[in-house]
Each structure stands twice: as C-alpha cells, then as structure tokens.
Amino acid sequence: MNHRGIEFTVAKTAIPGIWQWQFRIGGQVKSGKTETKIDLLAIRRVQLRIDRELKRSARQPEASG
C-alpha cells in the first residue's frame, strides 16, 4: 500500500485482532503492531503513524557529517 509516497504493509498475525505493520522513511524502517478487529482501522492507524513520522522528519534538520 502507499500513503503520501511511502510504501507500507499491514498484515494479520496468528493472534486474532493483532496486525503487524512496517514502513520505511529514508533509511529508517519503522515497524510495530496494532490491535483492532477491523482491517481498515489498522490501515488508518499506520497512515496516521506515517503522517507523524513525516512531520517529525520535516522538523528535524538533516545531520551533516
């Protein structure tokens, strides 16, 4: 799936109601789990997480080496 140009995945786990997600912004991979019985809610939660991470990365200046 894609949200704001960021590819992400959301997948069911063996535990009912638990979804595993992952996305990459720049060189950083973010992953985690969310709990919901509704697949669209799990997707929306990942989209909101992507929005937060994009906002955070826009505020932080690039580290120069």
1: CB partners within 8 A, 6+ apart: 7, 8, 9, 10, 43
- Chain-centroid distance of CA 54 in Å reads 10
DSSP 12-49: E-SSTTEEEEEEEETTEEEEEEEE-S-HHHHHHHHHHH
Q: What is the pLDDT of residue 61?
A: 67
Q: What is the pLDDT of residue 22?
A: 98
End-to-end CA gap in the chain: 34
pLDDT in tens, 20-57: 999 999 889 999 999 999 999 999 999 999 999 999 98
pTM across the whole model: 0.85
Q: What is the pLDDT of residue 58?
A: 84
